[in-house]
Amino acid sequence: MKNHVLRPLFVVVAIVVGILITRTLLVPGDFGVYERGYMYGWHRKSSEADWKAFRVKYKTAKVCVECHKDKYDDIKNSPHAPISCENCHGPSYEHPNDPLGLSIDRSRGLCIRCHAYLPYKDSARGKIPGIDPEKHYPQAVCIMCHYPHDPTKANPKHQKPEVKS
Amino acid sequence: MMNRREFCKKAMIVAGGLVIPLTALEVFNPRRLHAEKGGKSKVRWVFLVDIHKCVGCGFCVKACKIENEVAWDANVTRTWVERYVVTKDGQVNIDSPKGCRDGFTSQKIDQASVGLKEIKPEDIAKGFFVPKLCNHCDNPPCVQVCPVGATYQTQEGVVLVDRTWCIGCGYCVMGCPYGVRYFHPELHVAEKCTLCYHRLCKGMKTACVDACPFGARQVGNIRDPGDPVTKIITTQQVNVLKEEFGTKPQVFYLGLSMEVK
């Protein structure tokens, strides 16, 4: 065949080879069809390991009880027993190494998540003791009077509140 | 010149050639065949929500946002809780301020730009809370529409996004009938509930399940007949959201009311 016919053919072949080389360089080696088939399982396999390596922040009460048995028993024998420690004390991360102490949410906003009264009588919310946050001591923090680990008791820390003038 | 007989013969051959699908010419791949037969994994995570138990405290949303590093103040969340207040005249009021991150603490219904709507307690026929999250469907439409293979389903049924591979086209955000996908405000890739894949693989439960004080959220393995969640799903009256879409959602609801969309 004559040269002027072959030349554009070489160009086309070179382009195709170029595309294929770039593709193999860019697409990760473990990209393929996995367990869920072509439609749902076409992905980079190592992405699963990436997600598995994501850092766990909430370590659950199993970790808390190892050192804070007294506080754990305190709350487990009260109506607040089902509440996870970390809901109020914050995620434990690597505590006590990092962070040394946890930032406890002592705010009114935390308590009224459940204890702001809502008039939905047939829902579980209607059965929780509730207050009207705008009328029930709106300036006070709940824990000034109530002991969060056992709401049936008054807060021992605040039985005689010191009034600062 | 071509006569009529010859033309008809050649036309038939060309038409026949066009009809052969490209897949018929594909080299046989046993691994792919095995994959498409749906290799029976021993684990298939499912989720169970008990609407009767939910009080709308939002501890699940808070825990999810912290555990999964979801932007705290941006208007995005992987899970949220909706409040339904049905009045006696049949009107349905739905809201979920900040996705219930700080719980429902007011009787007023948040109607966004319209403002807050007050409903008199005596007008309320029923009020309840519905937690929502990714349904980790058996036929996930969000995965089907991804043009680059950045979102996929693991053998345990969890739908994940490969952050390094997502091009941010948003097809999956549009494709999900449950609206559980959004864009990561900083990375600009599609984001969604991972069913706390990093916790499940360590034998833990999801952050939202651990945070729920009322047992309204549970996670379990449907392939394990002894799993308490499996027992509930197989023996009690459970329902799913938007069954008519054919997505086969794997988040089951106890006490799902017809007002829930």
Q: Does residue A65 share a domain with residue A48?
A: no
> B23 pLDDT exceeds 80?
no
Model confidence at A165, pLDDT cuts 50, 70, 90, reads: very low
The confidence score (pLDDT) of residue A160 equals: 53
Q: Does residue A85 share a domain with residue A10?
A: no
The confidence score (pLDDT) of residue B34 equals: 47
Is A163 among the domain residues? no
User: Is the full-model pTM beyond 0.90?
Assistant: no
**Whole-number average pLDDT of chain A:** 91
How many CB pairs below 8 Å do chains A and B form together? Answer: 165
Characterize A34-44 residue by residue with b for buried, 16 or more Cβ atoms within 10 angstroms of its Cβ, and e for exposed. bbbbeebbbbb
Average pLDDT over residues B2-28: 79
> B7 pLDDT exceeds 50?
yes
Chain A residues with CB-CB distance to B36 below 8 A: 37-38
Kindly state whether B42 is in contact with chain A, defined as any CB-CB distance less than 8 angstroms.
Answer: no
> B28 pLDDT exceeds 70?
no
Q: How would you class A76 by CB atoms within 10 Å of its CB: exposed for 0-12, middle for 13-18, buried for 19 or more?
A: middle
The confidence score (pLDDT) of residue B125 equals: 96
Q: Compute the distance between CA of residue B192 and CA of residue B176 in angstroms, rounded to an integer.
A: 11
The confidence score (pLDDT) of residue A155 equals: 83
Chain A closest-CA separation from residue B152 CA (Å): 5
Q: Does residue A72 share a domain with residue A24?
A: no
Q: Which residue of A has its CA nearest to B54?
A: A124
Question: Given 3.20.20.70, 3.30.360.10, 3.30.70.20, 3.40.50.2000, which CATH number is that of B141-191?
Answer: 3.30.70.20
Chain A residues with CB-CB distance to B127 below 8 A: 118-120, 122-123, 125
Average pLDDT over residues B209-229: 96
The confidence score (pLDDT) of residue B38 equals: 47
Average pLDDT over residues A25-41: 93
Q: Does residue A39 share a domain with residue A93?
A: no
Q: Does residue A85 share a domain with residue A23?
A: no
B106 vs A116: CB contact, 8 Å cut-off? yes
- Higher-confidence position of B4 and B58: B58
Is A67 among the domain residues? yes
Q: Does residue A141 share a domain with residue A81?
A: yes
Q: Which residue of B has its CA nearest to A93?
A: B67
pLDDT, tens only, B193-212? 999 999 999 999 999 999 99
In this structure, which amino acid lies at residue A75?
I
For residue B254, report the phi and psi dihedrals to the nearest 5 degrees: -100, 130
- Interface probe, candidates B154, B206, B210, B214, chain A, greatest A C-beta count within 10 A: B154
Q: Does ipTM come in above 0.95? A: no
The confidence score (pLDDT) of residue A2 equals: 75
Q: Does residue A86 share a domain with residue A30?
A: no
A112 vs B103: CB contact, 8 Å cut-off? yes
Residue given tokens 């029923």 in the structure block:
B126
Bridge partner residues of B84 (DSSP): B94, B128
The confidence score (pLDDT) of residue A110 equals: 96
Identify the domain containing residue A121 by its residue range. 61-158
The confidence score (pLDDT) of residue B1 equals: 75
In this structure, which amino acid lies at residue A35?
E
Q: Compute the distance between CA of residue B59 and CA of residue B196 in angstroms, rounded to an integer.
A: 16
* DSSP three-state, residue B66: helix
Q: Does residue A29 share a domain with residue A9?
A: yes
Domain ranges of chain B: 141-191
Q: Compute the distance between CA of residue B97 and CA of residue A22 in angstroms, rounded to an integer.
A: 48
Are β-strands B251-254 and B92-95 bridged in parallel, bridged antiparallel, or unpaired?
A: unpaired
Chain A closest-CA separation from residue B132 CA (Å): 17
Residue given tokens 């058996």 in the structure block:
B138
Q: Does residue A76 share a domain with residue A31?
A: no
The confidence score (pLDDT) of residue A157 equals: 76
Chain A residues with CB-CB distance to B139 below 8 A: 40
pLDDT, tens only, B138-170? 999 999 999 999 999 999 999 999 999 999 999
Q: Compute the distance between CA of residue B204 and CA of residue B211 in angstroms, rounded to an integer.
A: 12
The confidence score (pLDDT) of residue B24 equals: 62
Is A43 among the domain residues? yes
Triad B172, B174, B180: Cα angle to 5°: 75
Is A110 among the domain residues? yes
In this structure, which amino acid lies at residue A48?
E
Q: Which of A129-138, B1-10, B21-30 has the lowest mean pLDDT?
A: B21-30
- Higher-confidence position of A111 and B27: A111
Q: Which residue of B has its CA nearest to A122?
A: B126
Q: Would you state the structure tokens that stand for residue B19, as one six-digit string?
A: 């009809």
